[in-house]
Amino acid sequence: MKNDKQSIDANSSAENVEQHLQELEKADYELLYYSQEQSFSADELARVINERRLNELLAQSDEFLSGLNSEIEDFDDSY
């Protein structure tokens, strides 16, 4: 009788854990799904984007591309 009770308790604990894990997985999926569908207003984006840093990065990328373009042109001239 005691073994039967332990077996029932173990099954119910395992079932509870399994159910809880499935609910967590569903919640994670829903969070991911809805976060991808969310659109942001210009005001919301302005609050989260560091405009100064973004401009610095854009300037660096422009310099890099300019230098790369120069190297490519020099490479083409050597052939």
| C-alpha span between 28 and 38 (Å, rounded) | 16
| pLDDT above 80 (res 30) | no
For residue 35, what pLDDT is reported? 64
Single-letter amino acid code for the residue at 32: L
For residue 65, what pLDDT is reported? 93
Same domain, 32 and 53: no
| Residue 12 located in a structural domain | yes
Q: What is the count of structural domains for the chain?
A: 2
More confident residue, 55 or 24: 55
| Residue 44 located in a structural domain | no
Residues 44-59 have a mean pLDDT of 91
Please give, one letter per residue, the 3-state secondary structure of the chain: CHHHHHHHHHHHHHHHHHHHHHHHHHHHHHHHHHHHHCCCCHHHHHHHCCHHHHHHHHHHHHHHHHHHHHHHHHHHHCC
Same domain, 34 and 56: no
| Residue 34 located in a structural domain | yes
pLDDT tier at 9, thresholds 50, 70, 90: low
Domain that holds residue 13: 1-38
pLDDT tier at 60, thresholds 50, 70, 90: very high
For residue 79, what pLDDT is reported? 57
